[in-house]
Amino acid sequence: MRDDQLREGMAAWLGPVQQAQVPDVGVIRRRLRRRRARQAAAGTVACALAAAVLVTLAHGRAAHTPSMAGPNRTISVPCRASQLRVDPRAVLVRTNATSMEPLPDTYLLRIRNTGRAACTLTGWPKLSIAVPQAMRAIPVSYGTLITRPVRNGEISRIVEPTAVVLPPRAEAAAMVTVTYPLALRDCASAVWSVTPPQGDPAVLVRRVQASGPHRQLMICRTSAVTVSPVYPAAVPITQNYPRSPPRESPANLSGSLPAGNAGPEAAPYFMVLRRGNAVVYDWRTGRVTAVIRPPRTAPQGFTGVAAAGDDRTFVLAAGAGHSSFYEVALGQLGTVSRSLAQLPVPAVANAGTSFAVSPDDSELALALPQPGGVATDEIMVVSLSDGATRIWRSPDPGSVYAMSWEDPLALRQEVWSGHPRLLVGWADAARAHRVARQRSGLRLLDPAAPGTSLLGSRLVIPATVRVGTLTTLNYPLVTPAGTVVFATMTSHAGGNPQAAVVAFSATTGRPLGVVTPLVDESGFGTWCGALWANASGSRALAACGVQGMVSGTHFSTKNLHFPAPNFGVGSNFFAW
C-alpha cells in the first residue's frame, strides 16, 4: 500500500467522524464542574488521611486521644447534651481566608464529655446564633474538627467530618466559621448556642467572663464580653494550647551569622509573636536570636508587632483592652540591644492589633475601632516624641484592615523633604453599595496634608481591581519608596479559592505582575503575603504556600524560615 493510499484510506474512515455534529459546549462545562468536584473531594480525603497519620504519629497509642470512627460505625452511644459541656472560653481565631470579604471569623468551641462513659459525637455540632432580627441571615459554616487529649499534647486537625468518640473528660473542639455583615449592629446581644447533632436541647455558650485572662479572646467592638464581629482582637491559637517556647541559647548565636548590615539582600531579622512572646529569627539560618517576653504589667502577652525602617527597631503592643506600646531595638547579631521601653501612646481601646510605625520611628499609626456596634474605624497618628495625636475619620462606617508606611528616605539618592505617607486598607461600609465600592481599597494618606477626613486620602488601588481571575486585596505592603504596592489577591476560577501576591504600581494603580505562584487557599491553608520589600520594590520576600524571593516579577523558591501560620492571626502577628 502506498502512502497516498493509506492517507486516503484513513481519510475515508475518519473523515465522516470529523464532520459529525459537535456536542454542545455545555457538555464540556458540566464535565469541568464534575472534575473540580472530584478534585475537591479527593483533596479533602487526602487531608483527612494525612491528618489521621499525623495524629497517630504524634500521639501514639498511649495518648489519651479521642478516637475516630467511620461514619458507618457505631462505637459508643451518642453523646447527650446533658453530658456535654461547651467551654465558653472559646478561642477566636482569624483565618487567612482572604478570598472572602468581609473576612470570616472562626471560633474554636471546646466541647467536653463530662459524663462517666464514652460517647460518640457524630458530625458537626450545629451552631446557631441567637441574635436580633437584623442578624438572622449571617452565614455559618463548619470547618475543621480539632481534637486534643485531656493532658498536655499537641493539637491535631482532622478535616473530614466524622464520628468522634469522646472518652470521659476528653475534649473535642469544633471550628465554626461565621461571616458577619460589615455593618453589624448590636453585637452585645449575641449569644452562641451549640446544638448536639442528636437533636438534644441546645447548649448555650453564654458570655465569656468579663475579667481574667480570657477576656481578650472574645473582645467585641462595643463591649469586652461578647463575640467580636468584624475585626476582633486576634489571639494566636497557641496561647491556649501552649507549646515549648523557642529557647534563647548561646549556642544559637554561634557560627557564621550574617552581619546586620551585610548587604541589601533583605532585612536580616524578623519578629513573630508566639505564645505571647516576641521571637526574633534570622531568616537566613532560621535561628532564634532573641525571645522578648512581655512586661509584667501585660501578662496577656504581646498582641501585635511592627517594624521601623531601619529593620532593627520594633514596636510591640501588649495587653488586652487598652493596649500599651513598647519599643525594642536589635543589635548586629539580632539580640536585644535596647530593652523594652514604653512609648507615650495614649491608652486607647482595642488598638493593639492593627498599627504601623513610621520608618523613622517618630510616629505610630493606629486603627481605632469606635464604640457603637458598627464598624467605624478611625486612624490615629501619634507622635512618639511628645505624644501629640491627630485623627482621621470617615463620614460613613468602615474598617481599616491594614496599614503600611512608605519611607522615601530609603532611596538615598533622592533628596526628599516631605512626610512619609501611610498606605491604608479601607473597607467602606456606607449604606449605598456603589459608594462603598468606590471608596474601598488601598488608600495613601498623607499625614502632613491638612484635613481630618480619611476619604481625603488618595485611592491608589480600588477594592474592585481584578488581575485576571484574581480579586480582593489583603495584606498590603508598600515599598519604602512608595512606588510599588504588594497585596495578596484571591481567585475562585479554579474551584477552590487560590491566592497569590500581586505587585501594583503605587503611582498608576495598575498591576505590575503576579509575583508568587497561586496557592490553594481554603481558609485554613498556609498564610500568603509579601513579607518585606526593598526600597524600590525590585526585590521582595514573600510566603505563599512556598517561601521565596521576588526579583522584579520573578519568584524563586528559598527557605526564609518564616513560620507561616495555618491561622492568620491579624495583620500584625509578624514584622520584618
Partner 1 sequence: MTRTSEFESFYQASYGRIVALLLGVLGDRQEAEDAAQEAFARALARWPRLSSYDVPEAWVRRVALRLAVDSGRRLRRSIRLSARLTRGGQAPPREPGDRVAFSDLGSALMRLPLREREVLVLHYFADMTAERIAAERGLPPGTVKARLVAGRKRLERELAADRQEARDAR
Residue numbers at the binding site for partner 1 (CB under 8 A): 1, 3, 6-7, 9-20, 22-23, 25, 27-29, 31-32, 35-36, 468-469, 493-494
Q: How far is the CB of 32 from partner 1 (least distance, A)?
A: 4
Q: Which is nearer to partner 1, 11 or 347 (CB)?
A: 11
For 320-473, where are the alpha helices, taking DSSP H only?
A: 433-439
Q: Which is nearer to partner 1, 19 or 72 (CB)?
A: 19
Q: How far is the CB of 7 from partner 1 (least distance, A)?
A: 5
Q: Which is nearer to partner 1, 469 or 553 (CB)?
A: 469
Which residue in the block uniquely carries the three cell numbers 474538627? 145
Q: How far is the CB of 550 from partner 1 (least distance, A)?
A: 21
Q: How far is the CB of 5 from partner 1 (least distance, A)?
A: 9
Q: How far is the CB of 40 from partner 1 (least distance, A)?
A: 13
Q: Which is nearer to partner 1, 23 or 264 (CB)?
A: 23
Do 567 and 299 touch, CB atoms closer than 8 A? Answer: no
Q: Which residues are paired to 550 by β-bridges?
A: 540, 555
Q: How far is the CB of 500 from partner 1 (least distance, A)?
A: 14
Quote the CA–CA distance of 313 and 325 in Å, as a whole number. 13
Q: Which is nearer to partner 1, 1 or 137 (CB)?
A: 1
Q: Taking Cα atoms as reference points, which of 210, 189, 193 lies closest to residue 107?
A: 193
Quote the CA–CA distance of 94 and 81 in Å, as a whole number. 28
Q: How far is the CB of 465 from partner 1 (least distance, A)?
A: 17
Do 559 and 286 touch, CB atoms closer than 8 A? Answer: yes
Quote the CA–CA distance of 275 and 293 in Å, as a whole number. 10
Q: What residues contact residue 339 under an 8 Å CB cut-off, 6+ apart? A: 328
Q: Taking Cα atoms as reference points, which of 398, 270, 353, 428 lies closest to residue 92?
A: 353
Quote the CA–CA distance of 349 and 221 in Å, as a whole number. 9
Do 195 and 127 touch, CB atoms closer than 8 A? Answer: yes
Q: Taking Cα atoms as reference points, which of 105, 183, 134, 132 lies closest to residue 376?
A: 183
What is the helix (H) or strand (E) element at residue 546, kind and residue range? strand 546-551
Q: How far is the CB of 10 from partner 1 (least distance, A)?
A: 4
Preceding amide of 102 cis, omega within 30: yes
Q: How far is the CB of 4 from partner 1 (least distance, A)?
A: 9
Q: Which is nearer to partner 1, 19 or 244 (CB)?
A: 19
Q: Which is nearer to partner 1, 16 or 60 (CB)?
A: 16
Q: What residues contact residue 356 under an 8 Å CB cut-off, 6+ apart? A: 306, 364, 365, 403, 404, 405, 422
End-to-end Cα, the chain, rounded Å: 73
Q: How far is the CB of 27 from partner 1 (least distance, A)?
A: 6
Q: Which is nearer to partner 1, 27 or 130 (CB)?
A: 27
Quote the CA–CA distance of 524 and 175 in Å, as a whole number. 11
Q: Which is nearer to partner 1, 286 or 494 (CB)?
A: 494
Q: Which is nearer to partner 1, 31 or 73 (CB)?
A: 31
DSSP 217: G
Q: How far is the CB of 553 from partner 1 (least distance, A)?
A: 16
Long-range contacts of 510-513 (CB under 8 A, 24+ apart): 511/465, 511/467, 512/484, 512/553, 513/552, 513/553
| 503: its cell numbers | 505587585
Q: Which is nearer to partner 1, 25 or 57 (CB)?
A: 25
Q: In the Cβ-directed half-sphere of 159, how many Cα atoms lie within 13 Å?
A: 18
Q: What residues contact residue 544 under an 8 Å CB cut-off, 6+ apart? A: 488, 499, 500, 501, 516, 517, 519, 526, 528, 529
Residue 153, number of CB atoms within 10 A of its CB: 15
Q: Which is nearer to partner 1, 35 or 510 (CB)?
A: 35
Amino acid at residue number 225: V
What is the helix (H) or strand (E) element at residue 528, kind and residue range? strand 528-533
Q: How far is the CB of 540 from partner 1 (least distance, A)?
A: 24
